[in-house]
Chain A
Amino acid sequence: MKSVKIIFLILLSAVGFSCSKSLVIENVNYAQHVESVVAPNQEGIVDDQRNNIRFSMLPLLEKEYGENSTDLPEFVRILRNSEGYYFITAEDFKYVYIFEPKRGELKLTKSILLAENGLEKPALNWRAPYIEVVSFNSDAPTYLDENGVIKK
C-alpha cells in the first residue's frame, strides 16, 4: 500500500512538472530598423507611438546633466537592437545610454561616453547586428551592442 502511494505521488509530481514547464520562443529579433526621433513633452515624457514605448526622460536628464536638471532636449533618439536593448541619446548628450527592458521599467546597463562636449547632431542607425552612432563630432561612426563599443 505504501509503495502504491509512492508511485502515485511520483506520477502526480511528474504530471505537475510537465504542466509548469513554460514555452520559450527563441531567436526573437527585436531590432528596430530606423531610429525613433521623438520630442518629449513639457513633463519630460517621451511617447513613441510607432514603436509603442512611453517613458519619462527625467531620470536620464539627471544622469546626463546632474540633479534637478530640467534641460529637455528638443528630440530624443531611440533605437532598439535585435536583443531588445534600447539605445537612447539626444543632441548635446555626452553619452549613448543602453537600457534593458524589464517589467514596467528600463534598466540602465551601460552609458557610453562619446563626446565630452556633447554630441552634435547624433543619429542611431541599425547596422545588424550593431547600432551605429553617427554625429558631427566624428567622421567615423561608432558601433555599439548591448555590451558597449565594438571595435571594427
Chain B
Amino acid sequence: MKKLLYIIVPVLLMLPMAQISAQNSDFEIVKDFNSKTELLSHKIQNAITTTQIQGIEAELDSVEHKYADHQEIINHAIYPTTFIDKIESLRTNLISNEHRLYLIENQREQLFDLSNQVMAQRAEINRMYSQVDSLNREIELSQASEARLSQLVQNYRNRVEQRDRLLFGMIDSLLFTHQKLQATMSTEQSMETYMITDDSNPLAMIHQIIEQNIEATHANNAMLLVNDNLRMRSLQIQFERTWDRIKVDFTNVYSNDNVDWGAQIDSALKQWRMIASKKMWDSVDQYLAQNEIDLGAFDNRTSFYQAMDSFISEGYEISKDEFLVSDSFQEFVEFEEFWNETFKTKWIPKTPEGVLLSEEQISTIDAALTDWEETARPIHPMLAAIIALAIVSLTGFILVMAKARQAR
C-alpha cells in the first residue's frame, strides 16, 4: 500500500506541472480555448433548466477570465473571428436560451396549476354526477306522494343545473390558462412538449368529462325541460369551441405516445354534439306538442326554420280565404305568443347565436308573422254590424225610392 502511495503521490504532484507546461504552448492554448467554447456552446444548446444555464454562465465567465490574457494569440488563430466576438456570441446565445428556458419553466408551473385545477374541478363535477344519479334513482323508485315526487324532480333539475355551472367554470378556466400560456410565448416559440401521466393529464380529464356528459345527456329523462336541454346544448357548444381553441397547444404540450387524445376527444365531442342536439330538438318538439302547435317534423335548425315557415305560410293562406270569420286567428295568436314570449324571450338568450335560428331567419319569421297577423286579424263585430246596417239601410232606401217612382 505504501509503495502504491509512493507512486501515486508524485504522479499527482506532477499533473499540475504537466498542465502548466502544456499551457505554455500557444497552439494548446488556442486548442483548449476552442474546445472549451465549443463545449460551452453545446451545453448552452442542450440546457434544459435555468439553473443549468446559470452554471454555464459561471463557466463562461471563468473561460473568459482565463483566456483574456491570451486574446491576442487567439485572435490570430481564429481570424476572422475574435476572442471577444466568440465570448459575446456565446453570451448572447446563453441569454437567449435562458429567456426561453425561463418561459418554459413558467409554462410548466402554469401547466401544473392547470392540472391541479382540472383535478379539483373534476372531483367536484364527479360529486355532482353522483348526486344527480342518486336523485334520478330515487325518482324512479319513488312511490311517494305527488308533492314529494315534484320536490325530487325540482332537486334533480337544480343539481343538473349546478353540475352544468361547474362545467362552464371548468371550460372558462381551461381557456383562461390557455390564454396565460399563450401570453408567455413569443410568436416563434412553441410550447414545450410536456410528458405527463394519464392520471393528471388534462386531456384525459377532458375526455372523461365529455364521456360523462354523453352518458348524462343520454340518460336525460322527461323530467328535464326545454330550458335544461338548451343549457346542456349550450354547454356542449361552449366546450367544443373552447376545445377548438386549445386543441393544438394542449395536444402538443400533453403529448402521450400511447394515446391520440386529440382524435379521441374530437370523436367524443362529435358524439356529444349529436346527442345534445337531438335531445334539444326533441324537447322543443315536445314543448310545441304540449302547447298544441303542430309544426311537423324537425331535428335541426334548417328543418325547424322550414317547419315554422311552412306553418306560417299555411296559416297565412287560410287567413286569406276567410272574411268575416277568422278561425286561423286563434292559431296565429297561439303561435305568436310562443314566438315572442317563449322562443325569443326565454330560449334565444339561453343559447349561443345561431343554434336555434340565425338572426336572419328570426327576422324573416318576424316579417312573415306581421303579414299573417294583418291577414288573419278578423273584422271587429261592431264594424261588421255597422256595415250590415248600412247595407240594409241602403237596400231599404233603394226599394222605397223605387216604389215612390212607380207610384208617380
* B18, A136: Cβ atoms closer than 8 Å: yes
* A134, B77: Cβ atoms closer than 8 Å: no
Digit string of A23-45 for contact with B (CB within 8 Å is 1, else 0)?
Answer: 00000000001110100000000
Q: Does B22 contact A (CB under 8 A)?
A: yes
Q: Give B74-97 interface residues, CB cut-off 8 Å to A.
A: 76-77
**B169 CB to nearest chain A CB (Å):** 69
Task: List residues of chain A with CB within 8 A of the CB of B21.
Answer: 121, 134-136, 139
Partner of A123, one of B18, B25, B73, B76: B25
Q: Does B26 contact A (CB under 8 A)?
A: yes
Q: Does B397 contact A (CB under 8 A)?
A: no
* A37, B18: Cβ atoms closer than 8 Å: no
Task: List residues of chain B with CB within 8 A of the CB of A139.
Answer: 21
User: Which residue of the partner chain B has the closest CB to A77?
Assistant: B27
Q: Does A81 contact B (CB under 8 A)?
A: no
Task: List residues of chain B with CB within 8 A of the CB of A77.
Answer: 27
Task: List residues of chain A with CB within 8 A of the CB of B25.
Answer: 35, 121, 123, 125, 134
User: Which residue of the partner chain A has the closest CB to B77?
Assistant: A34
Given contacts A33-B77, A34-B76, A34-B77, contact A121 B27 (CB under 8 A): no
Q: Give A1-60 interface residues, CB cut-off 8 Å to B.
A: 33-35, 37
User: Which residue of the partner chain B has the closest CB to A135?
Assistant: B21
How big is the B interface, by class?
10 to 19
How big is the A interface, by class?
10 to 19
Most chain A CB atoms below 10 A, which of B27, B73, B76: B27
Q: Say what secondary structure dominates the interface of chain B.
A: helix
User: Which residue of the partner chain B has the closest CB to A136?
Assistant: B21
Digit string of B16-34 for contact with A (CB within 8 Å is 1, else 0)?
Answer: 0010011011111010000
**B204 CB to nearest chain A CB (Å):** 59
Q: Give A47-77 interface residues, CB cut-off 8 Å to B.
A: 77
User: Which residue of the partner chain B has the closest CB to A75?
Assistant: B27
Q: Does A118 contact B (CB under 8 A)?
A: no
Partner of A35, one of B18, B22, B24, B27: B27
* A123, B77: Cβ atoms closer than 8 Å: no
* B24, A123: Cβ atoms closer than 8 Å: yes
* A34, B22: Cβ atoms closer than 8 Å: no
A135 CA to B21 CA in the complex, in Å? Answer: 7
**B79 CB to nearest chain A CB (Å):** 9
* B22, A121: Cβ atoms closer than 8 Å: yes
* B30, A134: Cβ atoms closer than 8 Å: no
Q: Does A84 contact B (CB under 8 A)?
A: no
User: Which residue of the partner chain A has the closest CB to B18?
Assistant: A136
Task: List residues of chain B with CB within 8 A of the CB of A134.
Answer: 21, 24-25
Q: Does A97 contact B (CB under 8 A)?
A: no
A37 CA to B28 CA in the complex, in Å? Answer: 10
A35 CA to B27 CA in the complex, in Å? Answer: 6
Given contacts A33-B73, A34-B73, A124-B27, 20 further A-B contacts (CB under 8 A): A33-B26, A33-B76, A33-B77, A34-B26, A34-B27, A34-B30, A35-B25, A35-B26, A77-B27, A121-B21, A121-B22, A123-B25, A123-B27, A125-B24, A125-B25, A134-B24, A135-B21, A136-B18, A139-B21, A141-B24
Interface residues in chain B, defined as those with a beta carbon under 8 Å from any beta carbon in chain A: 18, 21-22, 24-28, 30, 73, 76-77
Q: Report the 8 A-B pairs with minimum CB-CB distance, sorted nearest first.
A: A123-B25, A33-B76, A134-B24, A34-B77, A125-B26, A35-B27, A34-B26, A37-B27
